[in-house]
Amino acid sequence: MALLDQQIAEYVERFTSPHDPLLAELSEETARELGSTSMLTGPVAGRFLELLVWGAQPRRVLEIGTFSGHSALAMAAALPEGGHIDTCEVDPRRAAFAQRYFDRSPHGSKITLHLGPALETIERLEGTFDFVFIDAEKEGYVGYYEAVLPRLAERGLIFADNTLAGGRVVGGTPPIVAFNEHVAADPRTVQVILSVRDGMTLIRRASSRTPPSWV
């Protein structure tokens, strides 16, 4: 089940600012060397992530699921001065691939790649997170959410990818359904599911709403 008509999807990509050259190269080599191109963030979602980071200006970003490094580099390009990304990857081959591109990028020094189970990495890291991007195995999403929510800054955001599962969430039971239902039932947070690419959910703390200045 396609979320967008193919012609509309192509139109959206055509009128979205294209990949930076290094990210275009990364995408092409990912297809050749790693396969699983559906796991790539892609030019539309990548630009969306970049714009979110550009607007939110987080100083501390956590990414759960590096894959080949596309999303980390997209976000790193928009970080404010002093901003940093900790990204978690469990697969050594993917981690080595991503690190090679981090080393080539002018933004690579803003990224630290942690090899190993993400929950263990999160436990080792100190402090709070201003922005969390979850894009790893879907069975782990609820656990990741519960691990990072207590560590989320007051005005922090959680951004979860693939939350429409190619449309299979309607009338189906993919693992992501449990995550969507868990978040929707959680009074601690406010969320919206966006039909960008394969579905993306943006989440904030329910208590982080600041009254308008004129109130």
180-190 pLDDT, tens digit each: 999 999 999 99
Whether 214 is in a domain gets the answer no
Q: Considering only residues 129 and 4, tell me which one the structure prediction assigns the higher pLDDT.
A: 129
19-54 pLDDT, tens digit each: 899 999 999 999 899 987 777 788 888 999 999 999
Whether 95 is in a domain gets the answer yes
Report the CATH number at residue 93: 3.40.50.150
Predicted model pTM:
0.91
Domain span at residue 145? Answer: 6-208
pLDDT for the residue numbered 133: 98
Whether 84 is in a domain gets the answer yes
Q: Percentage helix, strand, coil, to 5, in the chain?
A: 45, 20, 35
Whether 215 is in a domain gets the answer no
Average of per-residue pLDDT values in the chain:
91
pLDDT for the residue numbered 213: 40
Domain count, the chain: 1
121-133 pLDDT, tens digit each: 999 999 999 999 9
> Given a cut of 70, is residue 214 above it in pLDDT?
no
Torsion, Cα of 39, 44, 50, 53 (10° steps): -90
| Pairing of the two strands 200-205 and 152-161 | antiparallel
